[in-house]
Amino acid sequence: MGTPPHLKSVLFGLCSVFVAVGFASAATQTETLVSVVGATECLDCAQKSINTENAVKGLRVAVKCKVSDEKYETKATGELDSNGNFEVKLPSELLLDNGDLKHECFAQLHNTSNAPCPDKNNALDPSKLILKSKDEGKHTFVAASGKLSFSSATCASATLYPCPPLAWKKKHPKLHMPHYKFPPKSHYHPHPVYSPPTYKPPAPVHKPPSGGYYNPPAAPVYKPSPMPHHEHPTIKYHPMPKKTIPHMKHIPHFHHDHPKYKKPSFPPTKVHSKP
């Protein structure tokens, strides 16, 4: 007698389970844990009196690796805790045999809309990952720039954005106007208007003469008359007459010498003698 068929299937299933568990345990023993750890820093939370937990709620850290020229691919993402710290798990396929990354990887902070957040320099440049520690079976990477800085004005969290809907902006139900049927159009047939007929004489019909067609004489050809030949006249120039200047009479001078006057003399005075 042989083994029952159902017992054979049970034994085959148990063997396959043991083999799968053995492969899984071997894979867990040889798999390397790769993680990216770091912290964030809010630049204006203290000035605006915003709690750290509210500022980082909903923010995520995305790890992007450069696959080709100017092409990046997101490998993993992770959320922030209430203190702004993060730990992102990376697949072990990104590691080389010496423990370094196969590609250049960067860490960047994203807001709730999954858009990159600008840093303290108002730029969207991500931070490159560098190896911090390498233990047995665990590799830890950190951002080269240290803390990932952000501003609550440019990187809104789930607490600050999106804003709640406005109370006065409500959707009113659409008014449906009743469909009115217009009355049918009445087609009026106006009475025909008759006008008195106008008679026109028939157009005359011109028939050729019975003697045949008339051939008019050819148009006379006139030759132009010859141009008259005129000789150029000779112009005679007469000399200019000489003009005689009339004799001018001598004009006497009108200048007279002025008379010379002497200084007048005083009249004689009477001389008085002393007594």
Per-residue pLDDT at 171? 75
CA 260 distance to own-chain centroid:
108
Residue 34 in tokens: 């790769």
Domains in the chain, please, with CATH?
Answer: 30-150 (2.60.40)
Per-residue pLDDT at 127? 85
pTM: 0.46
For residues 58 and 84, the answer to whether their CB atoms sit within 8 Å is: no
Per-residue pLDDT at 23? 45
Per-residue pLDDT at 2? 46
> Token match 């952000």: residue?
150
Average pLDDT along the chain, 275 residues, taken 10 residues at a time? 50 57 45 84 85 84 84 86 87 81 86 83 82 82 85 72 56 80 74 84 80 78 87 86 81 72 82 74
Q: In whole angstroms, what is the distance from residue 214 CA to residue 207 CA? A: 13
Query: On the CB side of 125, how many CA atoms lie within 13 Å of its CA?
Result: 8
Tell me if the bond preceding 162 is cis, omega within 30° of 0: yes
Per-residue pLDDT at 13? 56
The CA angle 65-67-73, to the nearest 5 degrees, is 50
Say how many Å lie between the first and final Cα of the chain, rounded: 217
Q: In whole angstroms, what is the distance from residue 116 CA to residue 110 CA? A: 5
